[in-house]
Amino acid sequence: MSKKEILTGKETTIIGMVHCPALPGTAGFDGNYQRIIERAVEDAVTLERAGVDALIVENMGDTPFSAIMDTPQVAALSVAAMAVRQAVKIPIGIDAAFNDCKASLSIAGITGADFVRIPVFVDTVVFTDGVIYPAARECMIFRKNMGLEHVKILADIQVKHAHMLISGITVEQSAKEAADNGADAIIVTGSVIGAETPIAAIKKAKNVVKIPILAGSGVNAHNIKDQMEIADGAIIGSSLKKNGKISNPISYELVREVIEGLM
């Protein structure tokens, strides 16, 4: 069975998040290597069974975040992503948070993932570990050199959990620059995890680019219909977990509520 094509502009794409527990080499790692893989597969299978179109495997448990991953993290995220790839038939993406484009693309290549999420593509932002500079040039050259031009790039603009170093840059400017620099889709978010993506910001991005625009935070069963009247899709994580707690497993019932809210 062939994989569903996503982000075609013909229909809404709903992407669920597989949040890996803390990986080796990070402050929260509990020593249980096998559980990382088991949990990733469990959440991925639940998301597919409940009806999402695609999913992203991310090292969300690795707080405090660094812009670039350490070797043990890359190894663990690769193994988890490969296990997920083998467990589901829907497209998968990689997000090596906070902004390790080379790790994301490398893992995508070895696992056969379909897309990557790049949180800081054209903006310059400040987050808890310092300043992150735009990765667009490095990302596009690395993708070309690795023979991975089939791997789509989903680029955040003015990403959550960070502050723009130059506050006067508009959403429209960031969106146009992301598209001009090769992004295959753009992600617009609220300020933090679970914060609703402002519809006004989605509209601003939609008005200036022709590539798909995704709502990247705060989409739930109550607002998904309104959000998807403007956006081309959504990336959903915390609202698919009991009490919105990131460390909780994906809830089949909550995913179904979100999917049905779109109907």
Q: How confident is the model at residue 10 (pLDDT cuts 50, 70, 90)?
A: low
For the record, the structure tokens of 229 come out as 């009247």
Report if pTM > 0.85.
yes
Which residues are within 8 A (CB) of 150 and not within 5 positions of it... i.e. 6 or more apart? none
Distance separating alpha carbons of residues 27 and 259, to the nearest angstrom = 35
Residues 20-77 pLDDT 10s:
999 999 999 999 999 999 999 999 999 999 999 999 999 999 999 999 999 999 999 9
Which pLDDT tens digit goes with each residue over 202-252? 999 999 999 999 999 999 999 999 999 999 999 999 999 999 999 999 999
Phi/psi for 213 (5° steps) reads -115, 130
CATH code for 13-261? 3.20.20.70
Distance CA 63, CA 149 (A): 31
Domain range summary for the chain, segments of one domain joined by +:
13-261
